[in-house]
Structure 1
Amino acid sequence: MIGRHPAWMLVACLVLCPVSSASARQGPEGRPEGVGRSPDFGEFSATSTASSPPPPGHPGPWGRSPRPGGLLERLGAPLSHVEDDDGRINTDRPSFTPSNATVPAGRLQVESGYTFSHDLTRTSRNDEHLFPELAVRLGLKDWLELRTFWAGQTYSRTNRRADGALLSRNDGPTNFLAGFKWKLSDQDRWIPEAALITDLAIPTSGTSPNSSDGIEPVLFLLYGWKLTDRFTLAGSTGLTTVFDRGVADAPLDDAFEQFSQSLIGFLSVRERVTLFSEWFVLARTNSAVKLPQHFMDGGILYQPTPNIQLDLRAGFGLGDHPTDFFAGAGLSFRY
């Protein structure tokens, strides 16, 4: 388990990391990419952040234009239908697996969305809403991005199935994540395009049941292979230390390690439309929840312009313990 002092040392390393702006990357299209949910994968609340798949391997329907320059030009850049020199937008949402590609140097990317989840037991039902799932990503180098993510405010209600009576409510802000994504390698035959996320999950409220008791280190190793012009296979391996709030009579739940593994496939069916299907699992050590939790989800990504993406997704838990059903939608821009 990673303790509190090493976590603060990691904060200092992140803050003092010598980074500077770099010239624009003339990135080739057709690179393999991964997908995403919030890297703060504590108790799963169907919050996904996901990534765009790679483009279909040809320039696309927009033509070509240089990267936007002035302020007004940059603000209006996402609306342009002209192909961007940096290729199409590639997001960390809506899937659990974050993208294995970094934001191009000098570019700003904003992603947001909403998730609804539903869980049914023999005696109760729970409905949860989460918004705005806000991610802000800034390209510092061709191989490095600065990233923040806040899943947002949770609104949760548990009602008795028999008469609908309110049993409990679970409202409050979630943790705030800040850190970096580091590019590790480009694809070379069977060597994947790979990246590493190093984040810190920082508590946002001393009273929120959805905010942890301490700073939580979050690591994600991301990798993917572009197998054909239309299909990409990607995955992630994650680790975090979770500080669980207020688990009565279960002292081992005060802090525990949680591992994740995911696998996702992207299929480009049109110039601007891509489908994805994903499996992921959460497993804990030193926790009252002993069994791993498995999930499946899928969705559609639509890019009306090279710098705008709309997404829809839905999924479900496998077995008795995970969330029965979750669904969401999102919108992302690149400037």
Structure 2
Amino acid sequence: MAQTENTEHVINTDRPGASDASRTVPKGYLHIESGFLFSVESINPSQEQQLINFNNTLIRYGLLKGLELRLNQSILSSRILENGQEIGVGWQSGLAPLMLGLKVNLTDENGFLPETALVAEVNLPKGNGNFQQENFIYRFNLTALNHLNPDWLLVYNLGIFQSFADESTQFNYTLRSSYTFDKYTPFLEFYGNRSKNTTPLNYINGGISYLVNNQFQLDAYAGIDIVSLYNEALEYNQSFVSVGLGYMFPIKK
């Protein structure tokens, strides 16, 4: 029975990268997806911010067939450097605001019709330390998947991100291509966001995931912003690297 169950359900994580998966967790299963991320972002020509996400943990539970519940929490730390030297009080740590949400399957893949799902999430106010947030922020994301062949996948997302206290809506997009051979899946992804109050940001990242078994996955990826490649007047850059894992197990017979 265990072998049959393992064959039927293979872990399908939202990691690695920025794209959400287009499939929900099977009913009665729990996904735990967690990772470490280090990023460096310029503030001005002489200052940069370093950010460590020690434990970005997403918990997903298959409540019903085609419906999952989601909970996300991160432990963060950041500091400011000026000309390579630490300034201020150094590293500041805290919890990011708690995120609650759900994902629901919409369509199965059928020819050119993609497999699709809708993610709806809300970040609760508060958190603590340097990462407090005073207002609710909601996010809707439509994710889709097409097989270009049995091993080559194309995943794409369109979404919005907005605070209840701010009328400015941020639009997000992702486009990801991955190819699986044996247990390895390398990928390349473009993503970014647009809003009327901020400069458009675009990024590229790439990496690989390794399927240890049908319930356990390891991953690593890195990325950079690509704004500076086409806008030399904008003195901005960002880079990041991340490693993580995903584990799925049944908690209901």
- What's the TM-score, normalizing by structure 1? 0.67
CA contact (8 A) 2:138 2:164 kept: no
Deviation at 1:165, TM superposition (A): 4.1
**1:274 is aligned to 2:196:** no
Structure number with greater Rg is 1
CA contact (8 A) 2:205 2:221 kept: yes
Query: Which residues in structure 2 correspond to 1:1-335 (within 5 Å)?
Result: 65-67=3-5, 84-120=6-42, 121-150=44-73, 152-161=74-83, 164-167=85-88, 170-205=92-127, 208-242=129-163, 256-268=168-180, 270-285=181-196, 287=197, 289=198, 291-319=199-227, 320=234, 323-335=237-249
The 2-side partners of 1:240 and 1:90 are apart by: 24
Superposed CA offset, 1:206-265 (max 9, x none): x64433211112100000101101210011011121368xxxxxxxxx563211011000
How big is the alpha-carbon RMSD for the aligned residues of Structure 1 and Structure 2?
2.0
The 1-side partners of 2:29 and 2:243 are apart by: 24
The 1-side partners of 2:71 and 2:95 are apart by: 15
Deviation at 1:85, TM superposition (A): 3.2
**SS in structure 2 at match of 1:65:** helix
Aligned pairs, number: 240
CA contact (8 A) 2:137 2:161 kept: yes
Seen in structure 2, the aligned counterparts of structure 1 residues 167 and 265 have a Cα distance that, compared at 3 Å, is same
The 2-side partners of 1:102 and 1:165 are apart by: 43
| Corresponding letter in the other structure for 1:231 | W
The 1-side partners of 2:76 and 2:38 are apart by: 10
Identity %: 25
Superposed CA offset, 1:114-155 (max 9, x none): 1000124421232110121111111122211111111x1221
The 2-side partners of 1:259 and 1:174 are apart by: 21
The 1-side partners of 2:182 and 2:9 are apart by: 13
Superposed CA offset, 1:89-136 (max 9, x none): 110112111101110111111110010001244212321101211111
CA contact (8 A) 2:34 2:246 kept: yes
The 2-side partners of 1:243 and 1:144 are apart by: 25
| Corresponding letter in the other structure for 1:66 | T
| Corresponding letter in the other structure for 2:187 | F
The 2-side partners of 1:283 and 1:145 are apart by: 28
Please identify which structure carries the higher strand content: 2
Q: Which runs of 5+ in 1 are unaligned?
A: 1-63, 68-83, 245-253
- What's the TM-score, normalizing by structure 2? 0.88
Q: Which runs of 5+ in 2 are unaligned?
A: 228-233
Deviation at 1:323, TM superposition (A): 4.7
The 2-side partners of 1:325 and 1:116 are apart by: 9
| Corresponding letter in the other structure for 2:168 | F
Seen in structure 2, the aligned counterparts of structure 1 residues 161 and 274 have a Cα distance that, compared at 3 Å, is same
